[in-house]
C-alpha cells in the first residue's frame, strides 16, 4: 500500500530512505498530521496571511514575538504554520584569537575583540533572519525557539562557528 502525505500529497514509493513515520518530501510526521486533521486543523494551509508588500513585511517583523517558551504569555495560538530555521556563520583563525586576547588584555574582559564579539553578532543575525523567515510566511510569533552553537575546526587551526536558531512559526488569535 502506498502512503500519501496528508500535508503535501506526496506518494511514498518503495525506494524511499526516510523513516516510515515521516514524509520524504515535507518531513511531516504522519501520525501528528493525522491527529491535527482529526482536531480540525487545515494542515495543507501553509502560508496563512503572508505580507503583500515590503512595508507590511517590515511591520510584521517589528511586531513578531520570538520566545523560547511553548506559548506567548497572554496570547492564544491560532495555528501552527511551519518550523523555521536559520543559521549565521563566522570563520576564525588562531590569528583572530591572538589579536582578540591582546585586545582583552589591554581593554579588560568587559569588551571583546575576538570570537566572543562575533558570536554575539552571529546570534543577533540568526534571530533577525528567523524573524524575517517567520514574517515572510505570515507568522505572528515564533515559539519554542532554540539557539544552538556549533564549532567546526579544520586541520590548520582555522574553523567556523555556526549559530542556528530554530522555532515554530505560529499565528495568534486577535486580542
pTM of full prediction above 0.85: no
Domains, the chain, ranges and CATH? 1-44 (no CATH), 48-172 (3.30.110.70)
Q: Are 146 and 165 in contact (CB under 8 A)?
A: yes
Residue 145 DSSP class: E
Of 90, 163, 92, 83, the closest CA to residue 124 belongs to 163
How high is the pLDDT of residue 112?
A: 46
pLDDT digits (tens, 9 = 90+) for 22-60: 887 777 788 888 888 888 877 775 555 666 677 888 888
Mean pLDDT by 10 residues, the chain (175 residues): 80 83 80 85 65 79 93 92 88 56 53 65 91 90 94 69 92 86
Amino acid at each position: 500500500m502506498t502512503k500519501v502525505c496528508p500535508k503535501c500529497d506526496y506518494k511514498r514509493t518503495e525506494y524511499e530512505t526516510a523513516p516510515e513515520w515521516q514524509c520524504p518530501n515535507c518531513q511531516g510526521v504522519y501520525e501528528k498530521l493525522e491527529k491535527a486533521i482529526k482536531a480540525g486543523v487545515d494542515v495543507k494551509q501553509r502560508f496563512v496571511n503572508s505580507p503583500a508588500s515590503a512595508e507590511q513585511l517590515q511591520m510584521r517583523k517589528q511586531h513578531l514575538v520570538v520566545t523560547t517558551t511553548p506559548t506567548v504569555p497572554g496570547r492564544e495560538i491560532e495555528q501552527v504554520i511551519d518550523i523555521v530555521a536559520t543559521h549565521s556563520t563566522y570563520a576564525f583563525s588562531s590569528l583572530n584569537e591572538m589579536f582578540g586576547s591582546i585586545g582583552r588584555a589591554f581593554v579588560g574582559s568587559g569588551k571583546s575583540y575576538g570570537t566572543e564579539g562575533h558570536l554575539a553578532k552571529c546570534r543577533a543575525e540568526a534571530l533577525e533572519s528567523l524573524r524575517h523567515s517567520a514574517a515572510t510566511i505570515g507568522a505572528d510569533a515564533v515559539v519554542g525557539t532554540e539557539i544552538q552553537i556549533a564549532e567546526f575546526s579544520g586541520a590548520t587551526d582555522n574553523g567556523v562557528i555556526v549559530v542556528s536558531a530554530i522555532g515554530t512559526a505560529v499565528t495568534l488569535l486577535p486580542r
